[in-house]
Amino acid sequence: MKLRKQVTVCGGAIFCVAVFSLYLMLDRVQHDPARRQSGGNFPRSQISVLQNRIEQLEQLLEENHQIISHIKDSVMELTDTGAVSPSGHLPFRSANGSWVLPFDGRPTFLALKPQDCQFTAGSHGQADVQMLDVYSLLKFDNPDGGVWKQGFDITYEPDEWDREPLQVFVVPHSHNDPGWIKTFDKYFMEQTQHILNNMVVKLLEDPRRKFIWSEISFFAKWWETADTYKQEAARKLILGGQLEIVTGGWVMTDEANVHYFAMLDQLIEGHQWLERNLGVTPRSAWAVDPFGHSATMPYMLKRSNLTSMLIQRVHYSIKKHFASTRSLEFMWRQGWDTGSSTDIFCHMMPFYSYDVPHTCGPDPKICCQFDFKRLPGGRINCPWKVPPKTVVEANVAERANLLLDQYRKKSKLYRSKVLLVPLGDDFRYDKALEWDQQYTNYQKLFDYMNSHPELHVQAQFGTLSDYFNAVYKAHGVAQGSRPADYPVLSGDFFAYADREDHYWTGYFTSRPFYKSMDRVIESHLRGAEILYSLAIANARHAGMEGRYPISDYGLLVDARRSVGLFQHHDAITGTAKENVVIDYGNKLLRSLIGLKRVIINAAHFLVMKNKEFYRFYQTEPFLETDDRRATQDSLPQRTLIELDPAGPRYLVVFNPIEQERLCTVTVLVNTVKVRVLTEDGQTLPVQLSAQWSSASQMSATFMVRLPPLGLAVFHLYESPDSPMTLRSETLLRLSSRGVAARAVDPLPVRSQQSDPQTFYISSQSLTLGFSGTTGLLESIKRKDDSQEVKVQMQFMMYGTRPSKDKSGAYLFLPDGKAKPYNQKEPPVVRVVEGPLFSEVVAYYQHFQQSIRIYNVPGKHTNTFPPSLVDTAPPAPPEAPPAGQLLPHAQSGLHPGQQLPPHDAHGSGSGSQQPGERSVFIKGVCGLS
């Protein structure tokens, strides 16, 4: 009833205004001398004068109609909450000071039912070992354990294997990092290709010899250069069980910094390559060098049909605890699994490293004597000053018994009488001599052990699956099944320390620029795959496969492999040498350029309603990206959209997720006279704000509703009168009276002396409070909740200890507790408020902090820089490009900003010249 009265009153006001306006117009027509026709000495007829006055009256009536329409719109806005207004209404400020926006009222989120989420469907999964409990139980001290420094003394009874002999599987391996000290290509040329070339020769010399290989990136490169004989030899070795491909990923992926999408994608790329070229499906996984292990990896391996896995880099205190309880082998289960569907059998190596001195048993001084690459005269030796001896008839008994003692002690840490003994290290077996040294000497030891029944041991070379199969057989269970009395474990193994307090946590933040670049390219890759697939499907449906560049699939493959390569545990971690990092960066940049080409070509095809007019131009693409990277280590530079009265520019926004979404979009323009229309002609609210790194550019932010896996096309006009375009209100809070800020139209900036009082920014659902001194967040309050949540933010800094071991790419070794970061002068704080977003940016000496809230109903969303630009000449307004485009998703960090110079908001000119292409395509990431 109250609303009806308001509408009645407002309607009456409109009528009164209309009548009064008509009266003024008639009076103006009668009395305004300027509107009278001066006939001089030639008087005009009364009909002509009356006709002229009627025409003037009609013109004034049309102007009055427009004024009344604006008044009516404003009245409707004042009587509406804005949440369900039809599109086309102006944003307005509510009584509490927050902006209210017009939306179409459709839901902006998906409703969830309790049964949709496993977490709410019942109790969490049950496990015998919860890693969180283990972490709280252990002291993480470092007592000296003797020869096994991080463990304990192991003893056994000589007759323990009388009834069931010890089965020993020695597994030769060579850990090949796809980039670390050397680049991927240099490693391949100087070492890896020789390892694989020797492998196909030396394994064929004796069918008892075995070997495992993990990194498909290297194997695929070798396969491309190998002759037919080597390829057939490799196939024969795999079919004969002498060579096993373990894990089968493109790399041995890092498990801490990677996104699960890229972790899975590199696994798929490796598995598909194996299937296409060798017909191989891996069954066992091998991860000896990632710096800690994530519970995500066993889930992916299980879902990829692997049955068993091995891990190595686990905190030494955890290894010691598991060894003491004989829990080094377990079924690894996901924490949310209420059954056992995610279980995978896992073997944890017990000692310091995966090299030979730390794999045969607890005493590295003895184990090193059985690394025959270290025989006297070689390039490496044993640090314990006791070198290996060549096995001959005179010493074989003594050597075999010494080694068997280590085997027996190691086996006491496990629940079966089957023992795994890796035999290798980084880039081993690159010389034919090492193959002979290792295999010949070990075979003599095996022959001696096996020929003496009183030793109760059966030793041989084996693959990883040979070992796991023997464990399953010994316990009488099927492959991948849980042996009786083996524990079930849930959780992960972070953070990793190999000795003392050397925690490998520095790599979580090492080289953050490349970690960010990786995420950007991952999102491009996903979007490009969607776009390419749909473009190909459209081309086939239209019978135009011959005209569409299907060869772009090669660019997708190259990008997958470059992204996959970067998931290596010395790449995305930031632990490679500088020249190797640059090589990774160049590979990623080439992939990014290739992905944008895929996006450009597919988008060009899909945007056209009439595909008959489609033409592919290799050298002059229809679209171009909206940002560019000049070099592998440069920040992206956004493309400026120059608007002019000649015609519209077209912006195409892609939604790469399978849900409709409402989100904000930001583009860079050269004028404040911006008007944004949808394809059906509806004007969208736009918020204009300054691009603070440039004196001639503005950013236009507007809100759009995007179809699932679809494109929306928007028209950008230079319009002198656009009531839907509102300018941000910018306030600089200055810490010193001697500091001044000055800016001119079109985007003026106010400044004031900062004070300790809390200040606020608001949206329709949130109010944030900030410290007047530091500009940091202090409180959060939801509009539907009377309680205010207090927040405390502080920047801290660590020093590094003065000892020999310092913090670096791998380690985090602080000199003590963190200390507060302080600077002499309080920061300059920039406060921006507007209908679509508000933000507070605090500028400190060494960094800046930005907090932004979006005025979006429903779930909060992120916005990212645009990603494609049309290169066609501007089309007339009546014939814009139409149809659905499906370009890429892009994520990443915004480039660092800085305070503008004086007069920072001039009109200026941009980088794009008239006559260049005019449609911009923006990729948007999923909900956050």
Could you report the per-residue pLDDT of 647-685, keeping only the tens digit for each? 888 888 888 888 888 888 999 999 889 999 988 888 999
The residue-averaged pLDDT of 473-492 equals 97
Would you say domain 512-636 falls under CATH 1.20.1270.50? yes
- What pLDDT, on the 0 to 100 scale, is given for residue 918? 39
DSSP code string of 524-585? HHHHHHHHHHHHHHHHHHTT-TTTS-GGGHHHHHHHHHHHHHHTBTTTTTS-S-HHHHHHHH
Residue 139 predicted with pLDDT over 80: yes
- What pLDDT, on the 0 to 100 scale, is given for residue 135? 96
Least confident stretch, 452-461, 537-546, 686-695, 774-783: 686-695
* CA dist 17 → 30, 31, 604 (Å): 20, 21, 51
Q: How many Å apart are CA 256 and CA 505, to the nearest integer?
A: 10
Q: Which CATH class, in words, describes the domain spanning 640-727? A: mainly beta
- What pLDDT, on the 0 to 100 scale, is given for residue 711? 78
- What pLDDT, on the 0 to 100 scale, is given for residue 620? 82
What is the DSSP pairing of strand 457-461 with strand 488-490? unpaired
- What pLDDT, on the 0 to 100 scale, is given for residue 632? 96
- What pLDDT, on the 0 to 100 scale, is given for residue 546? 86
Least confident stretch, 38-52, 132-146, 440-454, 683-697: 38-52
What is the DSSP pairing of strand 488-490 with strand 329-332? parallel
* Contact between residue 288 and residue 428 where contact means Cβ atoms under 8 Å apart: no
Confidence of residue 24 (pLDDT cuts 50, 70, 90): very low
Query: pLDDT by residue (tens digit) across 709-733?
Result: 887 888 999 988 788 888 899 999 9
Closest CA to 523 of 861, 250, 865: 865
Q: Is the alpha carbon torsion for 207, 213, 218, 224 positive or negative? A: positive
Structure tokens at 785: 């909740």
SS3 636: coil
- What pLDDT, on the 0 to 100 scale, is given for residue 743? 62
- Give the percent of the chain with pLDDT over 90: 61
Confidence of residue 619 (pLDDT cuts 50, 70, 90): confident
* Contact between residue 73 and residue 95 where contact means Cβ atoms under 8 Å apart: no
pTM of the predicted model as reported, rounded to 2 decimal places:
0.82
Nearest 5°: phi and psi at 483?
-65, 155
Least confident stretch, 588-592, 783-787, 824-828: 783-787
For tokens 């090299």, name the residue.
355
- What pLDDT, on the 0 to 100 scale, is given for residue 89? 60
Least confident stretch, 57-71, 266-280, 434-448: 57-71
The residue-averaged pLDDT of 100-117 equals 62
Confidence of residue 439 (pLDDT cuts 50, 70, 90): very high
Residue 862 predicted with pLDDT over 70: no
SS3 76: helix
DSSP code string of 566-577? HTBTTTTTS-S-
Q: How many Å apart are CA 75 and CA 792, to the nearest integer?
A: 42
Beta bridge partners of 849: 842
Confidence of residue 90 (pLDDT cuts 50, 70, 90): low
Element (H, E) at 338: none
> Which of 289, 355, 371, 570 is an active site residue?
289
Residues 6 or more apart whose CB falls under 8 angstroms from that of 449 comprise: 168, 400, 404, 455, 457, 458, 459
Query: pLDDT by residue (tens digit) across 871-902?
Result: 433 333 333 222 223 222 222 222 222 222 22
Confidence of residue 345 (pLDDT cuts 50, 70, 90): very high
- What pLDDT, on the 0 to 100 scale, is given for residue 82? 31
**Fold adopted by 729-889+919-927:** Beta-galactosidase; Chain A, domain 5 (2.70.98)
Closest CA to 130 of 14, 295, 248: 295
Q: Could you state, in order of their start, the residue ranges of all structural domains in the chain? A: 512-636, 640-727, 729-889+919-927
* Contact between residue 867 and residue 924 where contact means Cβ atoms under 8 Å apart: no
Confidence of residue 624 (pLDDT cuts 50, 70, 90): confident
Mean confidence (pLDDT) of the chain:
83
Q: How many Å apart are CA 789 and CA 767, to the nearest integer?
A: 10
- What pLDDT, on the 0 to 100 scale, is given for residue 425? 98
751, exposed or middle or buried, with CB in 10 Å at 0-12, 13-18, 19+?
middle
Residue 14 predicted with pLDDT over 70: no
- What pLDDT, on the 0 to 100 scale, is given for residue 647? 87
Query: pLDDT by residue (tens digit) across 495-520?
Result: 999 999 999 999 999 999 999 999 99
Least confident stretch, 124-128, 325-329, 344-348, 695-699: 695-699
- What pLDDT, on the 0 to 100 scale, is given for residue 806? 87
- What pLDDT, on the 0 to 100 scale, is given for residue 12? 56
* Contact between residue 603 and residue 880 where contact means Cβ atoms under 8 Å apart: no
Residue 286 predicted with pLDDT over 90: yes
The residue-averaged pLDDT of 328-334 equals 98
- What pLDDT, on the 0 to 100 scale, is given for residue 910? 30
- What pLDDT, on the 0 to 100 scale, is given for residue 185? 98
Residue 567 predicted with pLDDT over 80: yes
Asked if 485 is an active-site residue, the reply is no
* Contact between residue 702 and residue 684 where contact means Cβ atoms under 8 Å apart: yes
Give me the helices (H) in 368-511, please.
Answer: 396-411, 432-450, 464-475
Element (H, E) at 225: helix 216-225
Residue type, 112: L
Least confident stretch, 6-15, 343-352, 626-635: 6-15
Beta bridge partners of 344: 332
Q: How many Å apart are CA 85 and CA 857, to the nearest integer?
A: 13
Query: pLDDT by residue (tens digit) across 188-237?
Result: 999 999 999 999 999 999 999 999 999 999 999 999 999 999 999 999 99
Residue 80 predicted with pLDDT over 70: no
Confidence of residue 866 (pLDDT cuts 50, 70, 90): very low
